[in-house]
């Protein structure tokens, strides 16, 4: 069997293990990597290449960075590559039918959830935010409707009580590469046709908004804990102390009780705040306009009210 000519479309670091796998597998030839254009990043807002572009450069793969993949110019560029299939992983643009139809062996996508649950922008965070006991990554055929393609394979991951969004994200991106290694080749060979998604089970993973990081101490301990874990990657969680934000980088559940928002104790071991059915001990925080610090340093320099 001759090598299958692949166009890889990806941007975020979630896509890196997948691109590395395809480039190391003798069955594939990645003829081009399509990624988002360089964007300003950091304090100096310097133009920065995407993680996928940096990897493609190191692998000496041709790179294409259209602002819009669905223009006539982009379609003609992709067409000239004579690729047989496309693999899309965390790319950041939706492909039109004109692009999808260019690949005789089809176009597939890796999505960070167990479809049809959590279609959309933030599947990893939403699974934890809403207390799911398991998540996973799905290999799907690309359909015109977002994340609605036939399922070619899945890898499941149990979500433990201590697992945050970054840990789950890292697990899923590696499992995704395994799906491409096995199920994608079966699909290319005609041994997999895919299973249609059950539309009655669809849930939507809406994009995370920054304001979702504000903790409401009236909520149950489990809900606040899931919020803290889910938003660890971005934007983090915070509370309001003396009309200023206090970002919480590290905290743990404790078996104490009190009126929600009440400061139960404050000493060098931690700052304990009550919620609806329990409490949390804050261990590492970041006051507004300050650097991250241990709780003992925060308590030495700031006044804490009895109630938040």
pLDDT tens figures, 71-124: 999 999 999 999 999 999 999 999 999 999 999 999 999 999 999 999 999 999
- CA gap 9, 99 in Å, rounded: 12
Q: Average per-residue pLDDT in the chain?
A: 96
| 182 lies in some domain | yes
> Is residue 307 a part of any domain in this protein?
no
Crossing angle of helices 16-24 and 51-59, rounded to 10°: 20
* 158 within domain boundaries: yes
* DSSP structure string for 145-185: STT-SPEEEEEEEE--TT--HHHHHHHHHHHHHHHIIIIIH
- The reported pLDDT for the residue numbered 67 is 97
Confidence (pLDDT) at 270:
86
Rounded distance, CA 16 to CA 226, Å? 27
Beta strands in 46-198 (DSSP E): 46-48, 63-64, 85-89, 107-111, 119-120, 134-141, 151-158
pTM for this one?
A: 0.94
Where among 205, 235, 259 does a domain terminate? 205
What mean pLDDT is predicted for residues 193-205? 97
| pLDDT above 70 (res 279) | yes
**224-247 mean pLDDT:** 97
Q: Do 274 and 175 fall within a single domain?
A: no
Q: How confident is the model at residue 44 (pLDDT cuts 50, 70, 90)?
A: confident
Single residue among 170, 205, 240 that ends a domain in this structure: 205
CATH number of 224's domain: 3.10.25.10
Q: Same structural domain for residues 48 and 189?
A: yes
Residue 1's pLDDT band (cuts 50, 70, 90): low
Q: What is the pLDDT of residue 268?
A: 80
CA angle 99, 114, 197 (to 5 degrees): 65
Is the residue at 306 inside a domain?
Answer: no
């Amino acid at each position: 069997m001759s090598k299958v000519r692949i166009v890889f479309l990806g941007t975020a670091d979630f896509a890196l293990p997948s691109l590395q796998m395809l480039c190391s597998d003798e069955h594939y030839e990645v003829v081009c990597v399509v990624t988002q254009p360089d964007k300003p990043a950091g304090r100096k807002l310097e133009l920065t290449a995407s993680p996928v572009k940096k990897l493609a450069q190191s692998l000496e793969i041709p790179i294409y960075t259209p602002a819009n993949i669905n223009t006539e110019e982009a379609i003609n560029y992709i067409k000239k590559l004579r690729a047989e299939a496309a693999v899309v992983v965390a790319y950041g643009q939706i492909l039109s039918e004109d692009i999808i139809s260019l690949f005789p062996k089809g176009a597939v996508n890796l999505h960070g959830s167990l479809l049809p649950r959590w279609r959309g922008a933030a599947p990893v965070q939403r699974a934890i935010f809403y207390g799911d006991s398991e998540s996973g990554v799905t290999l799907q055929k690309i359909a015109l409707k977002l994340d609605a393609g036939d399922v070619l394979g899945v890898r499941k991951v149990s979500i433990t009580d201590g697992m945050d969004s970054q840990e789950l994200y890292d697990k899923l991106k590696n499992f995704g590469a395994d799906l491409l290694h096995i199920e994608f080749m079966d699909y290319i060979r005609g041994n997999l046709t895919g299973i249609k998604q059950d539309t009655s089970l669809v849930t939507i993973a809406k994009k995370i908004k920054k304001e979702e990081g504000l903790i409401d101490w009236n909520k149950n301990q489990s809900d606040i804990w899931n919020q803290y874990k889910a938003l660890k990657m971005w934007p983090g969680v915070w509370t309001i102390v003396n009309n200023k934000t206090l970002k919480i980088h590290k905290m743990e559940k404790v078996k104490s009780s009190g009126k929600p928002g009440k400061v139960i104790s404050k000493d060098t071991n931690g700052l304990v705040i009550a919620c609806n059915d329990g409490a949390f001990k804050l261990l590492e925080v970041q006051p507004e306009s300050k650097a991250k610090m241990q709780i003992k340093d925060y308590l030495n320099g700031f006044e804490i009210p009895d109630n938040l």
